A and B are shown apart, each in its own frame.
Chain A
Amino acid sequence: MFVGAIFFPLLGACLSGFLGRWLGDRLAQWSTVACMALAAVCGSLAFGQVAMGSHPATFPLLTWMDVGGLEFSWALRYDTLSVVMVAMVTFISTLIHLYSVGYMSHDATPARFFAYLSLFTFMMLMLVTADNLAQLFFGWEGVGLASYLLIGYWYDRESANRAAMKAFIVNRVGDVFFMLGVALTFFVFGSIEFDTIFANVAEHANDRFAGLPAIELIGVLLFLGACGKSAQIGLHTWLPDAMEGPTPVSALIHAATMVTAGVFLMARMSPIMEYAPVALQIVTVVGATTAIFAATIGCVQNDIKRVIAYSTCSQLGYMFFAAGVGAYQVAIFHLFTHAFFKALLFLGAGSVIHAMSDEQDIRRMGGIWTKIPVTYAVMWIGSLALAGIPFFAGYYSKDAILEAAFAAHSAVGIYAFVCGILAAFLTAFYSWRLLILTFHGKPRADHHTMEHVHESPAVMLIPLLLLAVGAVLTGAIFAPFFIGEHEHEFWNGAIFNGAHNHIMHAMHEVPEWVPLAPTVVGVVGIVLAYVMYMFAPGIPARLAATFRGAYRFLLNKWYFDELYDMIFVQPLRRLAFQFWKVGDARIIDGMPNGAAGIAAGVARGAVRLQTGRVANYAFTMIIGLVIFVSLFLIGR
């Protein structure tokens, strides 16, 4: 069961990837779906046993490396933290597989697509069940590879290839820091296995490395790694471009796999992070900044998937600052609920795109809500959950995050709280902007497209409905376990809160207005969206014209891409060319070639004596040998 949850997806990937040609498309698809379903069953059973029944376990598989004290194995570690992720990932991924059967039905190579999807899921599962940092890194890089393949799935499009490469390389930048963090961990603890590290943190709490506190440095390095994978500000640029992949891929990247890895890492390393207060402050500030930064961009984007992508970026910011103030449980809870409603939103968007004959620009949609009522309804549910409207899933987790930030009573905590409230307002605003522009108003698509607008087939609607149920209920059902009164038994030590860290209690004792604030700003945001896009549609255009600079700044995503292109990409290219043409060709080769030119004149005479060139050199070699040997013999 425990092993099955992880390896069924791999089996599915192999079946579909290697035998796809013999099985045929239909059989290949359904066999991967079946494998995923089996994995989900195993995952749920494991969740029952480990999390609800409090039976953590570790399954060693194979020694990986054992070099001079650096020793670690392939193993599956099942504690509450990992089993929550396993259950969530397998469940969501199964629904996405099912949905893809419908969504990719017109594709030329669906077997390849399903192989990638299952591989992606497998890598994520390896990541969350890792027993040591190296195996975590295996999954970490593995999801990078799978996302690269999936984003570039339509590889004859230039833009898809560019986006795929960008995703991989930006992730790699983060990975460098992760790798260095692992090296430092080994340097400090003499091991990279979690059990050994966690048992010895207190002992090494005051270690210093190169004049800096070692634990803090580990925390910062690992966080920088997490920034790459979880698209935090600075290393976020790959995430919006990742929209080039088919929509189910976006759902998988944003909901279940990949981007949540960074948050998971913070929670997994909580025993170390708890001894690294400065690192945690950095996490909080970066998370809060990302939350507000991505939300501002989300307000002006016109691609339906991009808007949702920026909302993911923003929600990840929430999770990070929750971890930053020490409320890892809350961060994981938001990750868990977010998975449901974000998958729902993306798959819903996919359904819209499917209906609109692959149109993604919301300026060319509108007036379709009567034609695709189920999609419309689930998009509403997803948006309500995202905006944190009471009793939907997002309400429980997002409110808890803001309460925790407030309860931290620190400068960075308040900064995070303010950013979080503002972002909550913007989130509600852009969610309803999206809903209204997509579904209401006069149809802005051409006549031909409008004729073909149709509801998606059942194989796509069933996952949507299941996810909608999740988006409504998961918050209310699981809140007591993740963050409520059963919190302690549920986590069972999988997440560590230091002795000084009382945030899990303090967050329940905040002033009355704090839990109300997010709901209020959420509703205000919704109302504003209605005013601006439904009742007085002239306002947005006038605003954009009045604040032209600000509008362009947001529309161009704070000019991050242009900046990076200017600072890194262009100079690198130019330098690479200079190194090659000047460094290698002129300077390094110039010297021997120049010397050869002088020597050539001298040698020309000598060469004539020889019949063949090889013999010439062999002869020189032997003569040289003789001379040297003789010299030494004489010398003796």
Chain B
Amino acid sequence: MNAAGFPLLTLLTFLPLAGAAIIMSVRGTDEVVASNARWTALWTSLIVFLLSLILWVKFDRASSGFQFEEKLAWLPEFGVGYHMGVDGISVLFVLLSTALTPLCILASWESIQVRVREYMVAFLILETMMVGMFAALDFIVFYVFFEAVLIPMFLIIGVWGGPRRVYAAFKFFLYTLLGSVLMLLAILYLWYNAGTTDIPALFEYAVPRSAQTWIFFAFLCSFAVKVPMWPVHTWLPDAHVEAPTAGSVILAGVLLKMGAYGFLRFTLPLLPEASADFAPLIFVLSIVAIVYTSMVALAQEDMKKLIAYSSVAHMGIVTLGIFTFNQQGLSGALFTMLAHGVVSGALFLCVGVLYDRLHSREILRYGGTARVMPAYALVFMLFTMASIGLPGTANFVGEFLVIVGAWRINPWVAFGAATGMVLGACYMLWLYRRVSFGAITRDDVRALLDLSPREYAVFAPLIILTLWMGIYPQPFLSFFEATVAALVARHEAALSISRLAGM
């Protein structure tokens, strides 16, 4: 059957739903329900995480193919099947999703006090959708998960969010949905011509050159919004600002990776010529994203907005790396995605720590917190430095590889990516200086309490991951080494065939 001996990926995908069902069935007073919901959600997500570790152990890193595959005929007459499986590109994102969910539940322990049951249900459904999306190997199944992710996220922002939550939720939903409609058209076209929506089977189908351009732009519309790339990024800051802390963590940590994952999974292998043709466009958009959003981040007065804009800049590095089509660039992009998932998630948690205490995200509201919260200052400093890409932390590995990969394409592209290093340092240090340093001017800041044991528990795994990925990234890099090499080889082969045909 597969390496695990049982349908592991299906279990990972749908186990959270079982947890959600249990939570739904709890009856009693509000307090009992809330407490039960918290514990059930935590245990469910922890079990899912432990199960997902099987992937870490049993995944064959030398193979570039899909593993842990499961196949069921669903609509055989239409060539649509239920097909799950992971390869080097997706396996770590499954793990990232399962690892961040319990942390998010833990982070929401005290900050969510109303409709706790519904909140936890939404989170578990969200986990199902995320894992399902990364594990899906059928285009229709993928599309269903890809779109369905929006629903729990929409609810989390819209119900438990800040004052402008409804506007933010709608902006988020409309932006991401509109992009997807075009992707659906592209999927239908592929299915119509190839007769299947099975992804490995689609890889064998050579899309005609003339159609590639159109499909490329259809995909681009959908994925660019999700990434988000400039200029369709403005939904992100609003969504982040209004989302509850844990919602921001998942949004930044996992949901932003969906677009880049789409590029890697579909655009590159299916549309090699169009990808090569439009790579310069992506480079320009990415560099604009890096420079432009870094500068916008510099002007922000809201902590979450600043980190949201920094996410856009980091995702610019990712898209840039993907379209270098070489091993360093692609590995760097993948690694940056993982690192950003951990680090920006942690940064949103850092903001959450302050928000839980004083209910304000305004930067100028704080100042001097290092004096009263030394442990917090250290944690915040670590993640600030990680976000800047200091060597020895996770982000550096990714950025370094992308810059090295980009140099092989064009030194100016590499230079554009590298300017992010300076601007990133500017806005993050400016943030840190105004929040943590300086003299304390307000009494409520002076009375702040340092991290609680629960908060330590939330941050500890993220700190370990950040340093581990920075100092000894090889265990992570080795996951995608073979897959990326195969992807590059495929891409080059496809291009050389088309070049021969053109001659």
B438 adjacent to chain A (CB < 8 Å)? yes
Residue of A65, A140, A572, A635 ringed by the most chain B CB atoms within 10 A: A65
Residues of A within 8 A of B404 (CB): 70, 182-183, 186-187
Find chain B residues with CB under 8 A from A493 CB: none
- 1/0 per residue, CB under 8 A from B, across A140-164: the answer is 1110010010001001101001001
On whether A156 and B368 interact (CB within 8 A), knowing A67-B328, A161-B438, A180-B415, the answer reads: yes
Within 8 A of A (CB), among B406-464: 406-408, 411, 414-415, 418-419, 421-422, 425-426, 429-430, 433, 436-440
B residues near A175, Cβ cutoff 8 Å: 421
For the complex formed, measure the closest distance between the CB of B405 and the CB atoms of chain A, giving whole angstroms: 9
Q: Whole-angstrom distance from the CB of A427 to the nearest CB of chain B?
A: 33
1/0 per position for B336-376, CB-CB distance to A under 8 A? 00000000000000000000000000000000101100000
C-alpha gap A575/B300 in the complex (Å): 13
A168: min CB distance to chain B, Å: 6
- Are A68 and B331 in touch, CB under 8 angstroms? yes
Is the Cβ of B296 less than 8 Å from the Cβ of A63? no
Determine if A584 is an interface residue (Cβ-Cβ < 8 Å): yes
Report how many residues on chain B are interfacial, defined by Cβ distance under 8 Å.
73
A577 within 8 A of B: yes
Closest A-chain residue to B408, C-beta based? A187
* A199 interface residue per 8 A CB criterion: no
Query: A187-B408, A588-B231, A628-B184 are contacts. A617–B173 as well, Cβ < 8 Å?
Result: yes
Quick one: given A134-B391, A161-B433, are A584 and B296 in contact (CB under 8 Å)?
Answer: yes
B residues near A583, Cβ cutoff 8 Å = 292, 296
**Contact assessment for B296 and A576 in the assembled complex, using a CB-CB cutoff below 8 Å:** yes
B222 interface residue per 8 A CB criterion: no
Least CB distance, A460 to chain B, in whole angstroms: 28
Among B151, B406, B425, the one with the most A-chain Cβ atoms within 10 Å of its Cβ is: B425
Note all chain A residues with C-beta closer than 8 A to B192. Answer: 632, 635-636
Q: Smallest Cβ distance from A352 to chain B, in angstroms?
A: 28
Q: Is the interface of A mostly helix, strand, loop or mixed?
A: helix
The smallest C-beta distance from A503 to any residue of chain B, in angstroms, reads 32
Query: Shortest beta-carbon distance, B436 to chain A, in Å?
Result: 8
CB within 8 A of B390: which of A65, A66, A145, A179? A145
**Which of the residues B174, B411, B418, B425 comes within 8 Å of A210, measured between beta carbons?**
B411
Cross-interface CB contact of B298 among A74, A142, A576, cutoff 8 Å? A576
A179 to B403, Cβ gap below 8 A?
yes
Chain B residue with Cβ nearest A209? B411
21 pairs across A/B with beta carbons < 8 Å? A62-B471, A63-B472, A63-B474, A65-B401, A66-B481, A67-B332, A134-B400, A138-B391, A141-B390, A142-B392, A148-B429, A156-B368, A165-B429, A172-B422, A179-B403, A183-B403, A183-B404, A183-B411, A573-B298, A580-B300, A588-B232
Nearest 5 CB-CB pairs, A to B?
A68-B327, A183-B407, A155-B437, A138-B391, A576-B295
A residues at B contact (CB < 8 Å): 62-70, 74, 134, 137-138, 140-142, 145, 148, 152, 155-156, 158, 161, 164-165, 168-169, 172-173, 175-176, 179-180, 182-184, 186-187, 209-210, 572-573, 575-577, 579-580, 583-584, 588-589, 592, 613-614, 617-618, 621, 624-625, 628-629, 632, 635-636
A156-B439, A169-B422 are known contacts; what are 10 more A-B pairs with Cβ within 8 Å? A64-B473, A66-B477, A68-B488, A156-B437, A176-B415, A183-B404, A187-B407, A210-B411, A579-B292, A583-B296
Partner-A contacts on B (CB < 8 A): 147, 151, 154-155, 158, 170-171, 173-175, 177, 181, 184-185, 188, 192, 231-234, 292, 295-296, 298-300, 326-328, 331-332, 368, 370-371, 385, 390-392, 397, 400-401, 403-404, 406-408, 411, 414-415, 418-419, 421-422, 425-426, 429-430, 433, 436-440, 471-474, 477-478, 481, 484-485, 488
